[in-house]
Amino acid sequence: MTLSPEVGLRARRATIENAIAHDGSAQTGPVVARLLATDASLRPRAEEVRAYVSEVVAEIRGVPVDELEDRLVSLGGSLSSPARSPRVEAPDFPDLVGAVPGQVVLRLAPFPSGVLHIGNSRMLFVNQLYQERYHGKLLLVFDDTVGSAEKRIEPEFFDLILGDLELAGIHPDHVYYKSDRLPVFYAWAQRVIEKGAAYVCRCSQELLGQNRAAGRECPERSQSIAETLAEWKKMLGNVYGPGGAVLRLRTDMSDPDPAFRDRVLLRISDIDHPRVGKKYSVWPLLEFSWAVDDVELGVTHVLRGKDLVMEDRMQRYLWDLLGIVGPPFLHFGILRVREAKVSKSKSYAEVKSGLYDGFADPRTWSLRSLVRRGVSMEALRQFILSFGMSLADIEVPAETLYAENRKRIDGTTVRRAFVADPVRVQVDGYPFDLARVNLPNHPDRPELGERPVVAGPTFFLARRDLASHAGAEVRLKDLVNIRLDSQLPAAGGTMRGTFTSRENRKLPRLQWVGADASVSVDLLGLEGEHTSGLGELALANASPGDIVQFERVGFVRVEADWTPGSSPLRVVYGHP
């Protein structure tokens, strides 16, 4: 299957625009992300798009910028395109309706049932972008109305979420807790009742659902305002237990959307709240609390995912009912990273059971897990913003994020040798003058210098590599060529090899570590697996938090809590 001429033209134009914006060096990841963001039909063919863009990147590498500009114009592009904007990879973000610089107020409203993860990052960085654009304020409003047995509020998450925001470089101007604001919600509920727009319903949850689906009115829907106020007082006075009564909004029972028919505004719960205990038993549903707080806290614009359109409608309905002009809404689509299987409840359960290594376990895809892996929050921010405010639901491979992070770390990250599941190999005839060699810290950055490396005649090589090349001639990377014996030894044994030549021939290249100078390494992988191996002696100088590229493996980050000098060196895999 090949891309259509029209898609190929768009991809070529986008690649050249990106190259112009980067002084001639196009970046594959952001170009692919932009194409997938602006054309959802390409998502199932993401790898095909990436392959084509990579070809174009290779084709135009080294072409002068002025020639690239001529090519772009010949392809129908414009030199005033977004490629020359401050955020070259990102589509434009529309202006906020009626926004006044210095007076914009936005809000983040996380539910404290888990740490913030990659799925929350669009909410974070889009709000931050607009806050910065308008020099406005950003509120953190904890949505800590009572949850359920499956989605419980846990006290530790208040501080953890504040820490997550700090990691992401987001600094709220004010912090609010909805659990402190119950009297405000009660006052608004009474206003709705006094408008004749709500009633207390004592139907069971099952009957309520059946009536709503059938468009059938609850018998208590005919309550007078006085009767509803009396029942409301009973709810607040703990006359009813959990599930015994709810306050429902009177809407059109023939509404095309059954979910909008007489929705519940407040309900009764006996769950012990981690901040206020059992001080309150009547709790608002989230859309009612948003309708209140977006007005009471002075929010001027609400930026949220398009999956919350029902909440939009509820808020507008309540504002119209009470004669209030609420803030406008601006939406974005759902952005998913294909490899990130995110579930707050699952992560919580696995952390508490001990299966996961805390909330920074790589399997959680939390913000703190990305930092632990060496993915910077600035890379994540640029990755997120590259999709603009598109309403299309987008699924992209994690490689798109990794490409953004590589742009920041590749040129300054030293290379080091690592061998997993090592097997000792004795090389006969090995040159004496190569017992020690100097190898570059980076293949393309001579300014990063060299490091001395202890080499042969005895090496450690990965068992998997030896199994694949037993009996073959191979090249020890950056060193010499050898021929391996055909028999792989049992665990703890030594394999033999024979020196053949020094010249850099086209042979399979195997990673090696000198057997006379090595460091034990424990590598934590993305699925929580631990791989034991050996690294070159230069790793003994590593410090907590260092990012290193293990050659032929990928970028890793030294664990922040690793004690220098202790064994093994503990690192976490970041990405290729």
Question: Are 514 and 396 part of one and the same domain?
Answer: no
**Which tokens hold the place of 4?**
């259509």
Which tens digit of pLDDT belongs to each residue from 386-437? 999 888 888 899 999 999 999 999 999 999 999 999 999 999 999 999 999 9
Question: How many domains does the chain contain in total?
Answer: 2
Query: What is residue 4's predicted lDDT score, i.e. its pLDDT?
Result: 83
Across the chain, mean pLDDT equals 90
Question: Are 499 and 532 part of one and the same domain?
Answer: yes
User: Rounded CA gap, 363 and 527, in Å?
Assistant: 6
Q: Are strands 518-524 and 554-558 parallel, antiparallel or unpaired?
A: unpaired
Q: Once rounded to an integer, what is the mean pLDDT over residues 156-172?
A: 94
Taking a C-beta distance cutoff of 8 angstroms, is the pair 119, 336 a contact?
yes
Angle CA 552–61–447, to nearest 5: 55
**Residue 262 domain-assigned (yes or no):** no
Which CATH number characterizes residue 564's domain? Answer: 2.40.240.10
Q: Which of 78-82, 334-338, 381-385, 519-523 has the lowest mean pLDDT?
A: 78-82
Which tens digit of pLDDT belongs to each residue from 530-558? 999 999 999 999 999 999 999 999 999 99
Query: What is residue 90's predicted lDDT score, i.e. its pLDDT?
Result: 44
User: Rounded CA gap, 327 and 103, in Å?
Assistant: 13
CA-based nearest residue to 535, from 417, 415, 413 = 417
More confident residue, 79 or 253: 253
User: Rounded CA gap, 87 and 408, in Å?
Assistant: 16
User: Rounded CA gap, 337 and 399, in Å?
Assistant: 9
Q: Once rounded to an integer, what is the mean pLDDT over residues 189-196?
A: 98
CA-based nearest residue to 141, from 345, 30, 292 = 292
Query: What is residue 367's predicted lDDT score, i.e. its pLDDT?
Result: 96
Q: In what helix (H) or strand (E) does residue 289 lie, and over which residues does it extend?
A: helix 286-296
Question: Are 497 and 566 part of one and the same domain?
Answer: yes
Question: Are 562 and 421 part of one and the same domain?
Answer: yes
Taking a C-beta distance cutoff of 8 angstroms, is the pair 293, 181 a contact?
yes
Give 15's Cβ-side CA count (13 Å radius): 25
DSSP assignment letter at 488: P
Query: What is residue 1's predicted lDDT score, i.e. its pLDDT?
Result: 45
Question: Are 429 and 563 part of one and the same domain?
Answer: yes
The CA–CA distances, whole Å, from 305 to 122, 164, 170, 443 equal 9, 20, 19, 44
**Which tokens hold the place of 230?**
């009396």
- In the chain, what is the straight-line distance between the N-terminal and C-terminal CA atoms, in Å? 27
Q: Which span out of 11-15, 57-61, 301-305 was modeled with the highest average pLDDT?
A: 301-305
Cα-trace Rg, the chain: 30
Which tens digit of pLDDT belongs to each residue from 214-238? 888 888 889 999 999 999 999 999 9
Model confidence at 38: pLDDT above 80: no
Question: Are 469 and 575 part of one and the same domain?
Answer: yes
User: Rounded CA gap, 271 and 440, in Å?
Assistant: 61
Q: Once rounded to an integer, what is the mean pLDDT over residues 10-27?
A: 81
Question: Are 575 and 538 part of one and the same domain?
Answer: yes
Strand (E) positions, 136-268?
Answer: 137-142, 174-177, 198-201, 246-249, 264-268
Taking a C-beta distance cutoff of 8 angstroms, is the pair 77, 114 a contact?
no
**Residue 346 domain-assigned (yes or no):** no
DSSP 359-392: TT-GGG-BHHHHHHHT--HHHHHHHHHTTTT--S
- Which of 409, 427, 455 represents a domain boundary (last residue)? 409
Question: Are 428 and 495 part of one and the same domain?
Answer: yes
Question: Are 568 and 421 part of one and the same domain?
Answer: yes
Question: Are 448 and 570 part of one and the same domain?
Answer: yes
Q: What is the pTM of this model?
A: 0.80
**Residue 261 domain-assigned (yes or no):** no
Query: What is residue 20's predicted lDDT score, i.e. its pLDDT?
Result: 83
User: Rounded CA gap, 403 and 410, in Å?
Assistant: 10
573: containing domain? 413-576
Query: What is residue 67's predicted lDDT score, i.e. its pLDDT?
Result: 80
Q: How confident is the model at residue 137 (pLDDT cuts 50, 70, 90)?
A: very high
**Residue 393 domain-assigned (yes or no):** yes
**Residue 342 domain-assigned (yes or no):** no
Q: Once rounded to an integer, what is the mean pLDDT over residues 264-276?
A: 93
**Which tokens hold the place of 296?**
């009471």
Q: Once rounded to an integer, what is the mean pLDDT over residues 38-45?
A: 70
